[in-house]
Amino acid sequence: MTLFVPLDESSPPPSIPSFLVRSETPNLHLRKAIKAILKAKRLVIVCGAGISVSAGIPDFRSESGLFQTLKRDNPKEALTSGRDLFDASVFNNEHTTSLFCQMIAQLSELSQAASPTLFHQALRSLDERGRLLRVYTQNIDAIELKSGLSFGVPEFDKRRARPRSKPKSTGPPIADQSATSSNTSCTPDSTPGSRYASPAVEVPRCIPLHGTLQTVHCQTCMHTFPLENHVSSLTSGTPPYCPECTQMEETRQLVGKRARGVGKLRPSVVLYNELHKDGEGVGEVVRRDLIGGSKGKGWSGADALLVVGTSLRVPGTKRMVREFSKAVRARGCPSSRDTVSASTGLATPSPSPGKGSTASAEDSPIKSIYLNFDFPGPAREWEGVFDAWLQGDAQSFGEILMEEITKEAAGKEAALERKRKREQGAAPLEGAEETGLPKKKAKTKNPNSGKPVSKRDTKASGTPSDRPRNPKSKRREDIDISTTSPPGIAADNPRLTIRIPPRTRVPEVCIITPRAPKLPCTPPDTHHNHRTTTHSLSHSDATDESDLSELEPDNLEVADELPTVMRTAQYGLRAIG
C-alpha cells in the first residue's frame, strides 16, 4: 500500500491507483515524511522539471509545457509533439537541426536568467547538514549549480577494470632488470596492472542525467566547450564549427597532410534514441550509491529516497528509481521479499497487503516518497514502490522543509548556548581551586538522619573532630621521628620516637639502645666467637653483675636475666594524655 498525503486537504482523492490509502491525519503524516527526510543519513533525491517551473523554465509534458508549445509554434513542421525536436533524428535534416539549435538557444537564455527556487534552496540546506548523498536531476538548466551544489559527471579511471597481467619474459634476466622493475613497482598507477589504487574520484553532489545546457561538444573529436561562447551561432540556427578540429586541420595543411574534416558542435544534452556520452560515469555513481562504498570504507548505500517533480516516463530513470526504492526499503526492513524479474530485469517490490490493511500502511515507516501533482503512470508499474505519495507543489513542500530545517538549526544553537553557559559557570570553581580559595560544598542529605543512633555507634563514631582520617591521605606531619632523650635518661642513650595518629589515645613506642662499651682485648686462645657466645650463654653464669652495672645508667632498671652484655634494649609503652 502507498499512503496518500495531500498537501492541500481540500483536494479530492484520486480514483486511481486502487492501492492508495488516504491518510486520516494528513498533517501528522506530512510531519512524519519530513522527519524521515531529516533523519536520513544518506538521502537520495531524483528531481525533474517540476522543481524549475517557478523559476521561469517550462516543463515538458504538461498542457503548457515545452512539447505542446513547440508544436503550436511550428504548425508547418507537422510535429506530432515537441518531443520530435528532442530526438536524435533532428540532425538528419538541416531544417530540424536549425529548429533544434534555436530552441536550445532560447532555453539557454532562460536558464541563465533563472534563479534558484525554494526547493533548490532546500537542496542546499540538506547538503549543508551533511546527510544528502546525491541529487539526480533530469533538468538541463543547471540551476542546482547556482544554488551551491557541486555539479557534473565524474571521470573514473578505466584502467581499474583491466585484469592484472605480468609481462612474459622471453629470455634470461638482464642484470639491470631487477632494479628497473623494483623502481617501477613503487610508482602508483605506473602500469595498467599496478597493485596501487589510483586516488579516489570526488563525486559531485548533483549528477545531470540528461546532460546540461552549459556546454557543447564536438561530434568528431568529442572536445567540450562552454555554450555561452556560441549562443549567437545557435540563435541563428547554424551549428558552430569545432575550434579544436579547425586548429588541427590548419596544422595538417601546414605539414602537408591530407584533410580529415572539421566537426560541428552540438549541445551536450541527451536526446531520445541516443546514448549518453557520459553514461558510464553516471552508471558508476548510481552503482556506488546503491550498494555503498568499497571494502573498508565504512559506509553503505542510500537509506531514503525522494522523487519530486517528474512523471517518470524515461525508461532509464524509471529503472533507477525502482532500484533505489528497493534498496532503501530493504535497509529499512531486512525481511523484505523483493525480487528481480527475469524478463524485464527490474526490481519487483513485495506485493502490497490487501485493502483492509489501512492501519498497517499508516504505521509503516516511510523510506520512499513521491512528490508531484499526479501519480506516475501506468499506475500498476508503481505498486509497492513508494511508501507515501505527497500530492502538491514542490515549492510548497520546499518551504515546509526549510522551516523544519531552520527549527532544527535553532534547537542545536540553543543547546550549544546552554552547554557554553554551563562551561562558563564551572570555570570560576576551577579558578578557586587553583588559587586556594575555599569552595562551597554541596549540601548532601545524611542517609542516617532518620535512624535512631545507639550508644555503641556514638562511642565508635565520636565527635567529628575525633574521627580518624583517611589512611590514604597521610601527611608527613603525622610521623614524628626524633632522637632526643627524655628527661632522666643520659644523653648517651638516644631514643627513637614514632608517633602514630590513633583514634583517641596515642601510644608511644620508645626504643632505647645504649651504646656498647669498649671491651678489653683478650688473648686469641681465650676469645670466643660472638655468635657462639651469645647463643651458648645461660641465664645462671653467663655474665658478671659488675659488668652489667657498668653498662647501665643509674636511672634505668634492667632485668637480672639479660642474656648478653653486647646490647641492652628495653621496650616500654607510655600513654600520652
User: How many alpha carbons lie under 13 Å from residue 353 in its C-beta half-sphere?
Assistant: 11
Helix (H) or strand (E) holding 47: strand 43-47
- Side chain identity at residue 177, one-letter code: Q
The answer to whether the annotation marks 218 as part of a ligand binding site is: yes
- Side chain identity at residue 530, one-letter code: H
Contact 206, 97 (CB under 8 A): no
- Burial code (b: 16+ CB inside 10 Å, e: under 16) for 148-180 equals bbebbbeebeeeeeeeeeeeeeeeeeeeeeeee
Cα separation, 352 vs 434, in Å, equals 68
The answer to whether the annotation marks 47 as part of a ligand binding site is: no
Cell numbers for 67: 512539447
The answer to whether the annotation marks 206 as part of a ligand binding site is: no
Q: Is the dihedral of CA 169, 173, 175, 178 positive or negative?
A: positive
Query: Which contacts (CB < 8 Å, 24+ apart) does range 4-13 have?
Result: 4/388, 4/389, 4/391, 5/29, 5/30, 5/33, 5/388, 5/389, 5/390, 5/391, 6/390, 6/391, 6/392, 7/390, 7/391, 7/392, 7/393, 7/396, 7/397, 8/391, 8/392, 11/391
Cα separation, 124 vs 196, in Å, equals 36
Alpha helices for 469-544 (secondary structure H): 530-536
Contact 249, 262 (CB under 8 A): yes
Which one from 29, 120, 210, 217 is the annotated catalytic residue?
Answer: 210
**Number of neighbours of residue 123 by Cβ within 10 angstroms:** 28
Catalytic: 210? yes
* Nearest C-alpha neighbor of 160 from the set 120, 122, 197: 197
* Nearest C-alpha neighbor of 368 from the set 351, 390, 343: 390
The answer to whether the annotation marks 221 as part of a ligand binding site is: yes
Cα separation, 530 vs 71, in Å, equals 132
**Annotated binding-site ranges for Zn(2+):** 218, 221, 242, 245
**Annotated binding-site ranges:** 218, 221, 242, 245
Residues annotated as catalytic are: 210
